Amino acid sequence: MAEKVRYYLEQTVPELQDLQKKGIFNKQEIAAIMKRRTDFEHRIGSRGVKPADFLRYVEYEMNLDSLRRKRIQRMNLKGRSSVSDWAGKRRILFVFDRGTKRFPSEISLWTEYVEYAKQADAVNVLTKIFTTVLRLHPTNASLWIMAAQHEFEVNANVRAARSIMQRGLRFASHSARLWVEYAKLELNYLAKVLARRQILGIDDADKTTDEAAERLRDDDELASDSIKLPTSTAEEVRDDLRALPDVDISVLGSLDTNPALNGAVVEAVMDAAAKAVPGRELAVKLLELVDSFPFLACQQRLVDHVADALYAADPALQANVLVYVKAPTRAVLPSVAAFPAALQTSLRRFWAAVDGRDDAKAIADDYAAGLGQFLAFPSLDPALEKAIKATQVKIARRFP
């Protein structure tokens, strides 16, 4: 082990000499750095090494590199770059690489490795990391999501991101979170396409606005959902995945003539998800996801799609009934011209749904309370306000 430690330390000599030559660190500080690195090398080379030892080593190297940059800035050092300018980043990546090889099953170590490679803008290293870790942990949904996000957000390669998601779902089709993130990827891409079309003047009447770009930057990753075992067979899931798109959405046509621009791809993902992960929890997550894209013209269509599927799956469940009857107004603001018609559709569904149910009063109370939220909307049309209040009174009399 001593020979290996000596070998690794000798690799750092040119860097330390360069730091001393530039005056960034003095002789005593260089000696202290060498001592700390010697201690870390002996620790990670021992039989009792733990993943935390590699992380502590990395933390020390990060702090050292940060101190180096601060001193360069304070000393206003300029000129051609030298070995010490890039040696710190390379050394941190090297320690991570050794740690993941020693503990290939330690997900936290891989995650930290990925995050630092992103921060260091080490694109080629990231590609190698994802290739290796996904081969070692093919059922880990978080890793597939990280890889797809890198392709979509950094490399702007939606085809590669979509391919990664679909490959991940072949290994982890039971993961509700992975399905939600795949739907989110398609919604984000659709928003980008529609935003470009509007900039080009293709869709003057499109709902997409500048808010789309802002939301795409600020949108946080959804919290992970609980996982349920699928009831569909693996072959059925594979068939559903083969039917999903593997090419970019065409920007040609219009919302009426091009189904992809009107949410058809997202609907296909939702349908495949419902087969792979049966149950209500995934559908609720998908509804929450669609709620976060109010600038898409197809939002109401997607809401209706999920709500209809929920109600058809279990019409006896009170929660499903409430989602179904409220769906027509879920994505329609009271200020738009389409709201009165949407409210009428919702009311028709409500009266039909509560007919003959034992839990009709509970559904009615919840629905009436939901109508009250529209009354708090600023600048509500007086006639609409009057109609909503009259409906609340009617419901209260019918279900005292």
225 falls within a domain: yes
What integer is the mean pLDDT of 172-185?
94
- Both 309 and 331 in a single domain? no
pLDDT at 218 over 50: no
200 falls within a domain: yes
- Both 206 and 287 in a single domain? yes
- Both 227 and 281 in a single domain? yes
- Both 236 and 331 in a single domain? no
- Both 301 and 350 in a single domain? no
Lowest mean pLDDT among 230-244, 287-301, 305-319, 347-361: 230-244
- Both 334 and 309 in a single domain? no
233 falls within a domain: yes
Amino acid at position 82, single letter: S
386 falls within a domain: yes
- pLDDT tens column, 124-147: 999 999 999 999 999 999 999 999
285 falls within a domain: yes
9 falls within a domain: no
**Considering 313, 339, 359, which residue would you say is the last residue of a domain?**
313
**Considering 286, 313, 340, which residue would you say is the last residue of a domain?**
313
- Both 364 and 309 in a single domain? no
- pLDDT tens column, 371-382: 999 988 888 889
Cα–Cα distance measured from residue 52 to residue 63, given in angstroms and rounded to the nearest whole number: 16
Q: Are 141 and 196 in contact (CB under 8 A)?
A: no
341 falls within a domain: yes
Domain that holds residue 332: 326-400
The model carries a pTM of 0.79
- Both 260 and 352 in a single domain? no
Cα three-residue angle 207-340-266, rounded to 5 degrees? 40
pLDDT at 54 over 60: yes
What integer is the mean pLDDT of 47-56?
94
- Both 369 and 300 in a single domain? no
Q: Length of the chain in residues, anyone? A: 400
Cα–Cα distance measured from residue 99 to residue 101, given in angstroms and rounded to the nearest whole number: 5
Q: Are 281 and 201 in contact (CB under 8 A)?
A: no
* The total number of structural domains that make up the chain: 2
SS3 sequence of the chain: CHHHHHHHHHCCHHHHHHHHHHCCCCHHHHHHHHHHHHHHHHHHHCCCCCHHHHHHHHHHHHHHHHHHHHHHHHHCCCCCCCHHHHHHHHHHHHHHHHHHHHCCCCHHHHHHHHHHHHHCCCHHHHHHHHHHHHHHCCCCHHHHHHHHHHHHHHCCCHHHHHHHHHHHHHHCCCCHHHHHHHHHHHHHHHHHHHHHHHHCCCCCCCCCCCHHHHHHHHCCCCCCCCCCCCCCCHHHHHHHHHHCCCCCCCCCCCCCCCHHHHCHHHHHHHHHHHHHCCCHHHHHHHHHHHHCCCCCCCHHHHHHHHHHHHHHHCCCCHHHHHHHHHHHHHCCCCCCCCHHHHHHHHHHHHHHHHCCCCCHHHHHHHHHHHHHHHHCCCCCCHHHHHHHHHHHHHHHHHCC
By the 10 Å C-beta count (0-12 exposed, 13-18 middle, 19+ buried), 345 is classed as middle
Query: In 3D, which of 261, 246, 188, 262 has the Cα closest to residue 220?
Result: 188
What integer is the mean pLDDT of 312-327?
92
Q: How confident is the model at residue 350 (pLDDT cuts 50, 70, 90)?
A: very high
**Considering 313, 345, 369, which residue would you say is the last residue of a domain?**
313
391 falls within a domain: yes
Both tokens of 28, joined, read 């005593």
- Both 359 and 275 in a single domain? no
- Both 295 and 347 in a single domain? no
- pLDDT tens column, 257-305: 678 888 888 999 999 999 999 889 999 999 999 999 988 888 999 999 9
- Both 299 and 351 in a single domain? no
